[in-house]
Structure 1
Amino acid sequence: MISLKKIFGKSSLALAAGLLLMGTPTVQAQDAVAGKVIFDANCAVCHSIDADVVGPALKNVHERRGDEWLMKFIQNSQELVQSGDKDAIEVFEKFNKMPMPAFKTLLSEDDIKNVIAFIKDESTKASVAAVEVPATDQAAVAEAAAPAEVAFLDLPPALLFTFGLAAVIILLTLLVLVLMFRLFIPMLGDSIYDEDFRTSFAGRVLFLLRGDATVVTGKAKDHIHSNHDFDGIQEYDNDLPPWWKALFYVTIVFAVAYMLHYHVFGTGALQTEEYELEMQEAALLAAKNADDPNAVTNYEVLTDAAALESGKSVYLTNCAACHGAEGQGTVGPNLTDEYWLHGGDVNAIFKTVKYGVPSKGMVPWQGKLTKDQMLEVSSYILSLQGTNPADAKEPQGEKM
């Protein structure tokens, strides 16, 4: 007979194993939740799950690289690059050689594992959400996107009447011309071959229609231009083609009219004036469009303590990962010296924050921060001038 002690012992082991198995998803979910908080605070500035930003998209990166590699790269990416790791070098060179901040001293191994758990969780969600559109739906979308074709007879009656009237006028004109030629040419008889008629406008048109191209090419002459020759080559005194001479005369008339219009009477705007007018028009249009990077802004630096404190909070949440908690510069430039890459007044900083500098890894913050938040963080950045934090990055840009 089996003792009660053995039964309870086995039951306890089974119960414990069952509880562990049941608790595993909950623990993983908790890791992902904790990882999201860490990711948003430290990684979201430069990374997205689905799209490349400053750094690469992270969807399924754990499958491509492995957890161990991710741990080392997050702890110190440059150490991995300098060790000759091919994957690390590939990522570094692909993304403009922008070094990723080393998180070895900022995040524990458990924190990094939580971030990796969050990436895995988000990658799974993204894969489930990427459901293919059925073929019938794709056809419907393509059909809806295709431009609508209108049959000629379905055009408005007024437009159809205009087309018909134009066709009738063209046909009548051609008919009249044919009748005139058939009536008058026989009446002229052999006189059409007289030199006077052939050189007239009507004669030129008539013979052009009959295949004589001298009205275009000019008439060849057998008169030698001079008595000298070059290795048996003789020069004939032929006229220039009439079409060439006509265009030459047109250019002379155009040049005189151009000079009078632009340089004598001053009735036309020269290039400098046109440029200034177009710039004025562009400035007016830019002023109406708040999202135009060329729009003129005239913000004043905020100096009250509440605005600067709010700007500091925005800075620490979104900017410190690349510029350092004290503005000393890490991946991004030092913000505490007098040197600036894209202008050092509050309006220039506001535009840099709003529109970013994607070619240099600075992401645009419009749509993520409000106008007030961008102005507050711009003012806070200016308040860091001259603070001289430890380990500040070397100056970059021009002195302002």
Structure 2
Amino acid sequence: MSWNMMKSKKNILTLAAGLFLLGSGHVQAQDAVEGKKIFEANCKVCHSMDADVVGPALKDVHERRGDEWLVKFIKNSQEVVKSGDKDAVALFEKFNKVPMPSFEGSLSDEDIAHVIAYIKEESDKPAEAEAEAVVVPVAGEGTNAPAAEVEVAFMDLPPLVHFTFALAGVILLLIVALLIMFFRMFVPMLGDGIYDEDFRSSFAGKVLFLFRGDASVVMGKVTDQIHSNHDFDGIQEYDNDLPPWWKYMFYVSIVFAIGYMLYYHVFYAGALQAEEYEIEMQQAALFAASAENDPNAVTNYEPLTDAAALESGKSVFMTNCAACHGQEGQGTVGPNLTDEYWLHGGDVNDIFKTVKFGVPAKGMVPWQGKLSQDQILEVSSYILSLQGTNPANAKEPQGEKM
């Protein structure tokens, strides 16, 4: 075989390998495209790549579990849980024992492979840094609002402030040291005079003996003198002083009570509790009125009945709700929506709020921000239109009858 022929075959093999790699990359990308469509139709309701929703975040899940495990779990998660698989049981317990719908009959192995390819592609994307918008007020016309208070950590203060605090601390320590020194110098000079009753009863004497372990200045004197001759079952009453700390607190409470009475009930300088409550309730009402997402706001929607609105609501339902409530509203992970029983109210306004704000404790995700107000009303009206349809394999009733 000539050198030219060998070189020609080598080039052909290199070209074939390159085309194979290029083709496999294209196929993988195509799988991810198909997987995205399947994911958004079946999985997006309960899963996100970066955050736990009803189910866990899926970023890098293929590295933690492996493709084979993912295929089994997507096909029938409860079967994997019942098999005793530690990872599956841990997930089931962590997410409030909300079972993942079985896709064994609705998704083929190829569909599941596409979904896994999409998860891999999304996991490989670099995390996008979210830039925080900082609003800087500009001085000029219309700038009448007070500047927002900014909390500054102590270590972020200027060095001069740190030096001032350190200097104040040193001066305080020097004062304490001087007092101790003078105390140690002058006490020995007093000699036995410190034990005289006149000195011990003075303020200086009480402080001195407090440092020497005599707590009578704080706890009072115990005379052990019987107050009267009567006793009961051997219990006798002694005429001892009340602890000075208790008396001082009592005197302080009297002064505080007088000041409180003058401030609130004589000069009316401060608001009483009832008035403060009313002010806070008014502020809360103003805040709630200005907020778009107040779950307590009263709504008075009427169910939509025109065919176009119901068809639009059905489209939203099939895309976002059918994964948990079934294609016909018969209930799978979520409750049956076709009977007369409701967990959170069966009026269109109750359904609207349930869809908008969700019930995270039960696995129902909030749809505000993902669906518009009109879409939420349309899907709520469509859900009401399912009443009495009696689909096959309907879930048992849950909640109260409406």
TM-score tier (shorter): 0.5 to 0.7
Task: Compute the displacement of 1:235 (Å).
Answer: 3.6
Which residue in the other structure is 2:40 paired with?
40
Which residue in the other structure is 1:227 paired with?
229
Task: Compute the displacement of 1:21 (Å).
Answer: 2.6
* Compared CA separation, residues 206 and 26, structure 1 to 2 (3 A): closer
Q: Which is further off, 225-234 or 67-76? A: 225-234
| 1:262-307 Cα shifts (integer Å, max 9, x gaps) | 9xxxxx9997x98788667644532221212222222222222221
Q: Secondary structure at the match of 1:379?
A: helix
Higher helix proportion, which one?
1
Say if 1:336 and 1:384, in contact at 8 Å, map to a contact too: yes
Which residue in the other structure is 2:101 paired with?
101
* Compared CA separation, residues 295 and 224, structure 1 to 2 (3 A): same
Alpha-carbon distance in 2 for matches of 1:91, 1:61? 12
TM-score (norm 2): 0.67
Q: How many residues are paired up?
A: 335
Alpha-carbon distance in 2 for matches of 1:340, 1:95? 23
Alpha-carbon distance in 1 for matches of 2:49, 2:356? 22
Which residue in the other structure is 1:89 paired with?
89
Say if 1:287 and 1:296, in contact at 8 Å, map to a contact too: no
Alpha-carbon distance in 1 for matches of 2:329, 2:301? 22
Say if 1:337 and 1:385, in contact at 8 Å, map to a contact too: yes
* Compared CA separation, residues 243 and 54, structure 1 to 2 (3 A): closer
Which residue in the other structure is 2:338 paired with?
336
TM-score (norm 1): 0.67
Aligned with residue 393 of structure 2, among 368, 391, 394: 391
Q: RMSD across aligned C-alpha pairs, in angstroms?
A: 4.7
Matches within 5 A, 1:36-185: 36-126=36-126, 129=127, 149=157
Q: Secondary structure at the match of 1:62?
A: helix
Task: Compute the displacement of 1:24 (Å).
Answer: 1.2
Say if 1:219 and 1:239, in contact at 8 Å, map to a contact too: yes
Which residue in the other structure is 1:288 paired with?
290
* Compared CA separation, residues 130 and 366, structure 1 to 2 (3 A): closer
* Compared CA separation, residues 118 and 239, structure 1 to 2 (3 A): closer
- Mark the runs of 5 or more structure 1 residues left unpaired by the alignment: 132-142, 154-203, 263-267
Q: Which is further off, 30-39 or 233-242? A: 233-242
* Compared CA separation, residues 208 and 19, structure 1 to 2 (3 A): closer
Task: Compute the displacement of 1:41 (Å).
Answer: 1.0
Alpha-carbon distance in 1 for matches of 2:240, 2:341? 73
Q: Secondary structure at the match of 1:112?
A: helix
Task: Compute the displacement of 1:147 (Å).
Answer: 8.1
Residue 322 of structure 2 corresponds to residue 320 of structure 1: yes
Task: Compute the displacement of 1:236 (Å).
Answer: 4.2
Alpha-carbon distance in 1 for matches of 2:281, 2:234? 63
Alpha-carbon distance in 2 for matches of 1:52, 1:366? 17
| 1:151-184 Cα shifts (integer Å, max 9, x gaps) | 888xxxxxxxxxxxxxxxxxxxxxxxxxxxxxxx
Alpha-carbon distance in 2 for matches of 1:22, 1:243? 87
Task: Compute the displacement of 1:211 (Å).
Answer: 9.9
Task: Compute the displacement of 1:85 (Å).
Answer: 2.4
Aligned with residue 302 of structure 2, among 300, 303, 309: 300
Alpha-carbon distance in 2 for matches of 1:96, 1:395? 20
Alpha-carbon distance in 1 for matches of 2:256, 2:7? 112
Task: Compute the displacement of 1:343 (Å).
Answer: 1.5
Task: Compute the displacement of 1:334 (Å).
Answer: 0.8
Say if 1:77 and 1:99, in contact at 8 Å, map to a contact too: yes
* Compared CA separation, residues 233 and 118, structure 1 to 2 (3 A): closer
Query: What is the letter of the counterpart of residue 63 of structure 1?
Result: E
* Compared CA separation, residues 354 and 221, structure 1 to 2 (3 A): same
Identity of aligned residues (%): 71
Alpha-carbon distance in 2 for matches of 1:232, 1:343? 68
Alpha-carbon distance in 2 for matches of 1:283, 1:303? 33
Task: Compute the displacement of 1:215 (Å).
Answer: 11
Q: Which is further off, 217-226 or 279-288? A: 217-226
Alpha-carbon distance in 2 for matches of 1:79, 1:229? 79
Alpha-carbon distance in 1 for matches of 2:233, 2:308? 96
* Compared CA separation, residues 42 and 228, structure 1 to 2 (3 A): same
* Compared CA separation, residues 290 and 326, structure 1 to 2 (3 A): same
Q: Secondary structure at the match of 2:32?
A: helix
* Compared CA separation, residues 284 and 345, structure 1 to 2 (3 A): farther
* Compared CA separation, residues 383 and 206, structure 1 to 2 (3 A): same
Say if 1:283 and 1:296, in contact at 8 Å, map to a contact too: no
Q: Which is further off, 224-233 or 286-295? A: 224-233
Alpha-carbon distance in 2 for matches of 1:316, 1:110? 22
